[in-house]
Chain A
Amino acid sequence: MKSFVTAAIAAAISVCAASSVQAQTNTLAQVKNRGILHCGSGTGLAGFGLPDAQGNWTGLDVDLCRAVAAAIFNDPNKVKFIPLSAKDRFTSLQSGEVDLLSRTTTWTMSRDTSLGLNFAGVNYYDGQGFMVRKKLGVDSVLKLAGASICTQQGTTTELNLADYFRANNLKYEVVAFASNTETVKAYESGRCDAFTTDASGLYAERLTLSAPADHIVLPEIISKEPLGPVVRHGDDLWLDIVKWTHFAMLNAEELGVSKANVDEMLKSPNPEIKRLLGTEGKYGEAIGLTNDWAYRIVKLVGNYGEVFEKNVGAGSLLKIARGQNALWTKGGLQYAPPIR
């Protein structure tokens, strides 16, 4: 009894001590100390984040984490991917289990303001769509009155769905699942008439169905879904690192700096390229890294266009057109502030 009391008091003291330590966090220092970046990824979505048979993760969101690791460690493989479901992702980030969340997460005001999080940019402009079986003979979401619709819970999708059907005065039945896998399985088994998620996700999931050709994606896009990486609130330096990693990839594409020609480009007289690759100025040091941070990113991971083509564009099974994800110079929305 006595030893138990002593132990309890000791525990109480240590809890108090621990609580006062938790003041200012320095994510960059933590990551450097740990020697590996903890990146929250999805549980598996082709093109965005999916582990292969060997456990190697590939995808657009995954490559953003690799780019951050390349900028910090000069090694894109110093990332541990932690698969998170839609409903667990924010808690994991808030509690510090992951340093960075990069998993098709929609930037919304409430998430940006009341969840204690910061969005570091938009690496994919998306919108919510619907997939149905061809044999239903439906060619518009507006003809889905009375339908049963499968979705993943804890997503903006769930809310947009309710909004859209309410606005158009359509009755429907929602069936929500905790994981994407279960949602798709339920749709395929015929439990639902339609499956809804971000359009990119629909194309990716359609590939996993047993007969992809039997399903069509309806033309309506019912929402704006700006997807991007998320960090914890209160660590500005870390936010800058993630934000500028994304911008560096965009700037590299705009300046024509690619994985293949980046070494050559080191000799470029173009001052913009010089600032990007660290041969002029001290832009890397300003974010707590070395000046060749962007060189490492492009050399080891690639520019935004390359990463896009490889994972979701022409070079992938998804074959998604650049569309609004093209650079601003080509009529798209992807626009990075200049490095200067």
Chain B
Amino acid sequence: MPTDAVKPGRASLFYDPKIRGYVYQIVLLAVVAFLIWSAASNAIENLRAQKIASGFGFWHNAAGFDVNQKLIPFSAAASTYGQAFWVGLLNTLLVASIGIVLSTFLGFFVGVARLSSNWVLAKLAMIYVEVIRNLPLLLQLFFWYNAVLKPLPDARNSIALPGSIFLNNRGLILPNPQFGPAFQAVVIAFFVAVVVAFVFYRWSKTQQARTGTQYPNGLITLALILGVPLLVFFFAGSPLSFELPQQGRFNLTGGLQIFPEFVALLIGLTTYTAGFIAEVVRAGILAVSKGQTEAAHALGLRPGPTLKLVVIPQAMRVIIPPLTSNYLNLTKNSSLAVAIGYPDLVQVFTGTVLNQTGQAVEVVAITMAVYLTISLVTSLFMNIYNQRMALVER
């Protein structure tokens, strides 16, 4: 018996749950790595056997096709498949980022409206959520695309709006801003104003905490951010001109064109995601105990400040995690763009480029990596935000 007492250390090395945990994890990791390696080498071998071109050499080959909406220069004559990838990616990011901002506003509004004491408003919000959430997004996109296009006149009978703005079934055509070199100063002034406004905000908060004096933060911030760049703009001699759209044979030429595909996709994604965000917001607000509202009212706070200062900050803790997944969903759903002809990443890259090169494995792998990256970055930022919003226990 005494010998047992001498070597419990050796026995526990084998039975130590911690060590065993590590061993299992290493084994699992090795198995996963082996699976990935064997799948990849299997794919490469099969591609070679079938004489299907592989590798990333296609990236620098001439594209030979055109894309209508592009945020960077792209042409069939001079661009490569690699540039087509960037065109598609930027279009995806554009619609996703604007969609996230708009759906957040709309979702919060509808979510709060559904809890409103105004019966009509609450019921309208309920109908909105139930209708939007229960119809497939693809169907909604078709609806919006046709709804956007149908009432619009053809290009020869464009609706002329004040300020050289035209509307027809090719989109909304705006005067195209041409920035002079001195415009840089305005941009710099804007960023300086933002920093100054931020510093002032922090200062006013500490002042309020110290002395109780409240400053008109909103007004001052607005004056700084709008006023300073505007002043610089006039001092620099108004370095901004507009290229006005001209009526051509078929369509208006020149000008900045906002395509109906973009508008339809944006409306579709925004309204659809807002339906889910509204429910998340409602759940978040309902999760805040009623006692909090009653306590705030007892302190003499009106309903508006109660919502803003007491309820929403606590509800945010519940709201942020599901809100993050809705942002991710919106980004991923933007790939349905392919159905209504919006040139997003899936349409341009996984559609046209894949077809013209035939390199399915590479193209799909890149696309998957892109969506994964976008999702992880979104999650990262939302997690950082979540940590800041979480209750700070003192």
Contacts and interface: CB of A to CB of B under 8 A. Distances in A.
Contact of B42 (A12, A19, A115, A162): A19
Nearest to A150: B341
B93 to A, nearest CB: 20
A234 B253 contact: no
Interface in B261-300: 261
Contacts of A113: 51
A175 B251 CA distance: 14
B38 A19 contact: yes
- By size class, the interface of chain B is 35 or more
Contacts of B249: 143, 145-147
Given A19-B42, A159-B65, A163-B64, A148 B251 contact: yes
A166 B169 contact: no
A234 B354 contact: no
B366 interface: no
Interface in B56-75: 64-68
Interface stretch (B107-115, B146-154, B200-208, B311-319): B146-154
B139 interface: no
B352 A146 contact: no
For chain A, what secondary structure do more than half of its interface residues adopt (helix, strand, loop), or is it mixed? mixed
Nearest to B257: A173
Nearest to B63: A162
Nearest to A186: B341
B149 A153 contact: no
- By size class, the interface of chain A is 35 or more
Interface in A173-200: 173-179, 182, 186, 189-191, 193
Interface stretch (A1-9, A66-74, A203-211, A276-284): A1-9
Interface stretch (A85-93, A251-259, A260-268, A331-339): A85-93
B229 interface: no
A111 interface: yes
25 contacts: A5-B28, A12-B34, A12-B38, A15-B39, A19-B38, A22-B46, A87-B355, A91-B354, A94-B50, A94-B360, A113-B51, A114-B52, A114-B53, A146-B253, A148-B68, A153-B352, A155-B355, A159-B356, A176-B351, A179-B339, A186-B341, A191-B170, A193-B250, A193-B251, A232-B50
- Can you list the 10 inter-chain pairs with the closest CB atoms, starting with the nearest? A154-B355, A116-B52, A162-B76, A116-B50, A115-B358, A19-B42, A114-B53, A174-B66, A147-B250, A146-B248
Interface of A: 1, 5, 8-9, 11-12, 15-16, 19, 22-23, 86-87, 90-91, 94, 110-111, 113-116, 136, 143-148, 150, 153-155, 158-159, 161-163, 166, 171-179, 182, 186, 189-191, 193, 232-234
Interface of B: 24, 27-28, 31-32, 34-35, 38-39, 41-42, 45-47, 49-53, 64-68, 76-77, 146, 149-150, 154-155, 169-170, 248-251, 253, 260-261, 338-341, 343, 347, 351-352, 354-358, 360
